[in-house]
Homo-oligomer: A and B are copies of this chain.
């Protein structure tokens, strides 16, 4: 592009918008449907469709382990996949602040293109708005995804059943602590970074090999505790969590204790909860552990009928503590 900053007319719908599309988006997102440049994409999809949307406003836009672009792909790909679906297509809508360095935009677009390749999805249509300086902070991105549901019955938040095992695919709190740490200018231990990742390939393996996965859910905003509360309410069951089984990196635990944060409420962007009949738990853990993204998977609890709609944390000494849904905003702009 002729300017090293994003100018207002890049979002005009006119000639400058066309250049931005052809020189940047088509370059990194190359696929035949996008290149038709219609206002809508024509897509072939089979069976029941999983559809999900998320707007990403994360601050900072670049952080250890990712950026707003890769996060925007991972977040939506994961949500689509949580219904037991193969994600296929994404839309991408940018809202950009006038004056954003073109280098930053290109870095983000490139990162999205790479994340799409890894996840096996195509960005097929999009939208770009540029708003005057001060009307938005740098860049916000919406992605919306569609995929084909292959699990039957499909996992759903209201299907957790008494006796089910509660598995988590890995360590908790990495993304949330990384974002807050970066924002506060803390120099975190070198191995604390966002876990942002596309989980779809692992999830597809799970629903293909396990006869009936009851719930799949990624504990993003509000963290493990809030997500489990949503599920126990939807399913009208109780979740009893063994505190000592919850995987947390020592550095994350240390950082949380320093900053006064509870890792159980911190966002994750590359982890999922899997709730399924106890008889399939071992098989599911094997599948998860065979994948780099599920290496630290373990069973953290069970579904019971003790207190329907509640999550109970069982401490190492046998104490029982009610784990509420997040109250108040622990971390704005975490994703």
Contacts and interface: CB of A to CB of B under 8 A. Distances in A.
Interface of A: 7-9, 11-18, 36-45, 48-55, 57, 59, 79-80, 82-83, 85, 89, 91-95, 124-127, 129-132, 134-137, 140, 142, 144, 146, 149, 154, 156-158, 217-218, 220-222, 226, 230, 234, 267, 324-330, 332-333
A222 B14 contact: yes
A93 B53 contact: yes
A271 to B, nearest CB: 14
**Most B CB within 10 A of own CB, among A18, A95, A127, A330:** A127
Contacts of A82: 38-40
22 contacts: A11-B329, A12-B222, A14-B226, A14-B326, A14-B328, A14-B329, A15-B325, A15-B327, A16-B329, A37-B230, A38-B156, A39-B82, A43-B49, A49-B146, A51-B146, A53-B144, A55-B93, A57-B129, A57-B135, A91-B144, A131-B137, A136-B137
Q: Looking at A41, A125, A129, A230, which has the most chain B CB atoms within 10 Å of its CB?
A: A129
A54 to B, nearest CB: 5
Nearest to A219: B13
Nearest to A124: B51
Nearest to A54: B127
Contacts of A80: 40
Contacts of A48: 42-44
A219 to B, nearest CB: 10
Given A48-B44, A57-B129, A36 B157 contact: yes
A111 to B, nearest CB: 19
